[in-house]
């Protein structure tokens, strides 16, 4: 398992973010029964950088709490069987054999402000954003009510399994 974490934000988050990210990434992959070792990149950045990324890749010129950049073109969420054909080599690191899931970018300011707004800890907010984004990397989405409900259930189950509550 390779979880690369880059801290680019100017202001400190003042929590053990590496441990939280590692724990949640592993928890999501376990919950979603991922049969592979995986690689995930996580960027903790300022709102300004998140806005740049959002503008460049989603054409939305505003900041957001988390961005997900999946590498796998899933046929269905966590549909690992589709990775078994000869064309799927593209999704695996040639040196390590790890499944290249993609990148996550999280706003440090949003972790702080949303934790305060929702009345829970920064640890819980960071864990939620990582779980949410990891589900996107595994092909989940929330474009309609049905998808949203599935994703919300999965997020809640994962955080409960990890003992991370509001």
Rounded mean pLDDT of 59-80?
A: 95
Residue 166 has pLDDT above 80, yes or no: no
- Contacts for 156 with CB less than 8 Å, ≥ 6 apart: none
Which band of pLDDT confidence, cut at 50, 70 and 90, is reported for residue 87? low
Q: How far is CA 59 from each of CA 22, 102, 144, rounded to the nearest angstrom?
A: 30, 19, 21
Q: What is the pLDDT of residues 47-63, one digit of tens each?
A: 999 999 999 999 999 99
- Asked if 67 and 57 count as a contact pair (C-beta separation under 8 A), the reply is yes
Q: How far is CA 107 from each of CA 44, 54, 112, rounded to the nearest angstrom?
A: 6, 11, 9
What is the model's pLDDT at position 86? 64
Domains of the chain: 2-161 (3.40.390.30)
Percent of the chain at pLDDT > 90 equals: 93
Distance CA 41, CA 99 (A): 12
- Contacts for 148 with CB less than 8 Å, ≥ 6 apart: 142
DSSP 25-70: HHHHHHHTT--S-EEEEEEEE-HHHHHHHHHHHH---S--SEEEEE
């Amino acid at each position: 398992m390779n979880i690369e974490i880059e801290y680019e934000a100017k202001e400190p988050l003042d929590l053990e973010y590496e441990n939280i990210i590692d724990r949640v990434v592993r928890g999501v992959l376990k919950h979603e029964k991922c049969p592979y070792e995986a690689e995930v990149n996580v960027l903790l950045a300022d709102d300004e950088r998140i806005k740049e990324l959002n503008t460049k890749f989603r054409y939305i010129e505003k900041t957001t709490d988390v961005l997900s950049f999946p590498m796998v073109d899933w046929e269905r969420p966590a549909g690992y069987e589709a990775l078994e054909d000869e064309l799927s080599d593209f999704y695996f690191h040639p040196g390590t054999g790890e499944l290249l899931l993609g990148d996550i970018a999280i706003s440090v300011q949003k972790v702080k402000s949303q934790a305060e707004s929702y009345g829970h800890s920064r640890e819980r907010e960071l864990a939620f954003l990582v779980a949410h984004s990891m589900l996107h990397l595994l092909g989940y989405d929330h474009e309609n009510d049905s998808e949203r409900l599935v994703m919300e259930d999965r997020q809640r189950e994962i955080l409960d399994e990890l003992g991370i509550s509001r």
